[in-house]
Structure 1
């Protein structure tokens, strides 16, 4: 029996589910933006693509424009899920590649005539052109209004979740509609880029903070970027400050937000890096214990104020000494001073404050008060670390 396009298409139909699953896996692997789309959802769309390709092979012609056909419905759904048009088109091309590659394999196995193989290949690429044309039309029609609507919804949902208020039952479907999984624990992430644009920073937070079936929620709130993520976006830690609260269910995200707030207040604002409770450690107690901070500042900082600039130098020296584990040679090398000069400064600090740098208690207390410094050019403590739990706006 001579193979025909229709007979090859029938064989491919029997493999439709396997081809669709492979296409879904390829899309997840090649397009990080699709990480938030569940595998079943993606495989379902890929199955429709396979079926459309098979129909075109059987009928011998590419599909025609349908005002509300599957291409437009799929595009509309992906727009609502936050996908960019270039990713929507690329995802379809990946599906089409899976179909086309298997078609060529089966055509060879069944000795499909070269003319028919060429015709089938051309038909499949015409199917791709049809999808792209319909997708672009749908995107032009709905994208702008959908982007605005989604942006407003993201900000409102994020504010509600971070406020610590009880989760209203009506919030769960709204969370699902944004691609989030309301049954998963999320981390609150606060921060800002130290290089590049805020737009790219937010896009990368969404990209790397998402997992299959659980999209990250990202929005600009009061001039900074806030996000809810199921995966910590470590890939962008080198380009900005990331303060990550502990994972928590929706009802407890207010607690995670407070922790992220405290972490952000404690880390240097212009030094990129990822900071969470494990990296900040005992410093998390500083914002919620203002009395201890005031007492320690009175003990170790105020006695230096009458020394003017030299008081700043002394505090900088002590800070460097602690950072270098109180090793004289390493500290002197870091400060580019003679070891005797270092010893003189440390002795002067002990004299002014009445403390001993050999005392464990002094080391603990100094570490606390130095962690509240704004920078190395002032004797002030960082403003805002008062222990008052400032609600997110």
Structure 2
């Protein structure tokens, strides 16, 4: 069995809860959270070279005679990245050998006792059934992801998703889309996969794993916009971490955050750098003055009070800023450029 990102894994703890196997943990309890993806039956004393990792290695102990053999077998399973050992009682011995118990406890390798009436092939069949089900489910999610992209691009009507939405028990009057990094989690809604991105159509704005972008809610026909918003919000969340909502996108900082460094570089170099260099050379406080002026919404009186300056002194500093940058802080368009420069310089770790 080759490694496959679609192969579903369970933990040893979860495998113990499968009713059909009636397994009993007899050693290696500290490894209960080790993942298991497949079953491998063997009577070889050294099965490690034949493992691909995360198997439950099943044996009836035909080659496990004595403490040395038990220790070598357990060591080989651990070296081959096996997840656990399943010992079938009733064929060679009526109980799991004590030497094997002690070896598995030493390694922290779970040892499960398999009842005599449970055939080893049942494990392989169970994992194969889960694999087939998971692959079918993933295919359906990929189809849903492609359909959501087509809806976003106007190539398909949102009505194409109505059956899926109804089957999921969602309220079509208030749907939103959550974009997140690909997930295999069970989430409340219709889950589509678009490459490495999961797109969840849901009524629950809290059904996400970080980072995530959350589109705005609305009726079925609102879905194209919600998909677009969720993807843009996810990009912002990937840069800054956490969760970004559609409402967070309509801000000045969010807009700047979507620009790449090359687009911001002229503001940092042409505006922020001359101010920082001037302050360093002359001991002035033009950068601080500009930041405060911007925070105060371009109000001379409020800025003067915040900096404990006479308004004429502030106007003199603003004039110096204009002379150095070519942007008049009292003009709205220029003030926007100055604000971008301050933000860009802060992102680059500059003096502005």
- What is the TM-score when the length of structure 2 is the normalising length? 0.41
Would you tell me which structure has more strand in proportion to its own residues? 2
Greater RCO, CA 8 A, separation 6+: 1
- What is the TM-score when the length of structure 1 is the normalising length? 0.38
